[in-house]
Amino acid sequence: MLTLLDCQTDQDLIDVSNVSTSSQTFINRVNSACKRLLDRGDWWATVIKAQFAVYNSRVVWPRWVGTVLAVNENRTPLKAQTGWFDFLPLTSEDWRAIRDCYPNRWDRMRGSALVNDLGTAPTFNEIATGQTNYVIVYPRSSVDAGKTMTIWGTDQNGWPATETLIMPNNTSSPPFVASSNQYQSIRRVIKDVTADYLDAYQCAANVPGTLLDLGHYEPGETKAEYRVSFIKSHFPDWCQGERRISALFKIQHVPAVMPNDLVSIGNPAAIKLMYQAIQDENASDADNAAKHAAMAVHELNLELQNKLPESQTPVSYEEFSGVSMSRHSAF
């Protein structure tokens, strides 16, 4: 793991930076270098496995989840599908026919459920259909007094509503701020950079009663946007209650703001070379920019080969019913 402070004190980066490493320009270029590198491949420590809870067939992935690559539940694979799945001309009768044709491979072929991408949402726990709730926000740090969080949504009358909440001192009374409107839904959230988390809840009253989670926003987070997936199952009882899944995903680039924030690429040599490529671009030197970018990718490939040798890559031939490849013939 590499922090922004590590980059600010790395001598190689200091030598090529041409600006103070404490300046916003340096921070912006390091973030830009990391994002470009992340977009260029799946590098060491950028593909991660973790477990998540699914409530009512819906999972809101954390901010740092970029692309969901694979999903399992109790070692049973769930097929991950994009939004196009909803528009396929296949009905339940089609899938039943497929199942009948391949009775011994039904579970392995389809898994017990599908993970369908729904786009993005600004909250972890949306307001339930048919309810209208107030938004109540608690700042964790007194330093964040006066900072703002603006919400866009639909009010109790179904009209678009916008509201800016100003954070109180968390040692004052009350230590929270409540919205003046009740909301049926929250469509957008923007906040200031803060020293600590802002904890947002939904409540039937504008004073704390039974609080339900809405979102917990990180200090450097300014625009809340999380990927959302819906679990669809051909087994009706699968999605009842809470389920736990494991997922393999590629991380999302999250800009580093404070010195102790992690940067999304952990290879300082690659960051330095991409930093130089950005400087070359700004100087209209396209040739050197391309060379430095290629060198940065080469550094990451060397690291990837060192950390994950190709000889350890698993190979599956389940598509051939598990029969040894030596027994297959081409006609």
Mapped onto helix, strand or coil, the DSSP state of residue 25 is helix
Q: State the Cα–Cα distance between residues 176 and 207, nearest whole angstrom.
A: 9
Quick one: pLDDT at residue 116? Answer: 85
Quick one: pLDDT at residue 284? Answer: 96
137-185 residue pLDDT tens = 999 999 999 999 999 999 999 999 999 999 999 898 899 999 999 999 9
Q: State the Cα–Cα distance between residues 188 and 257, nearest whole angstrom.
A: 22
Quick one: pLDDT at residue 212? Answer: 93
Among 129, 138, 222, 235, CA closest to 178: 138
Q: Which residue has the higher pLDDT, 94 or 15?
A: 15
Element (H, E) at 260: none
What is the overall mean pLDDT for the chain?
87
pLDDT band at residue 54 using 50, 70 and 90 as cut-offs? confident
Q: Are 246 and 77 in contact (CB under 8 A)?
A: no
Q: State the Cα–Cα distance between residues 130 and 152, nearest whole angstrom.
A: 18
Quick one: pLDDT at residue 102? Answer: 56
Residue 112, pLDDT > 80, answer no
Quick one: pLDDT at residue 58? Answer: 84
| Adjacent-strand bridge partners of 58 | 55, 230
Kindly compute the dihedral angle of the four CA atoms of residues 265, 271, 277, 282, in this order, to the nearest 10 degrees.
90
pLDDT band at residue 77 using 50, 70 and 90 as cut-offs? confident
Hey, what are 59's tokens? 């999972």
Quick one: pLDDT at residue 31? Answer: 97
224-275 residue pLDDT tens = 999 999 887 766 555 566 678 899 999 999 999 889 999 999 999 999 999 9
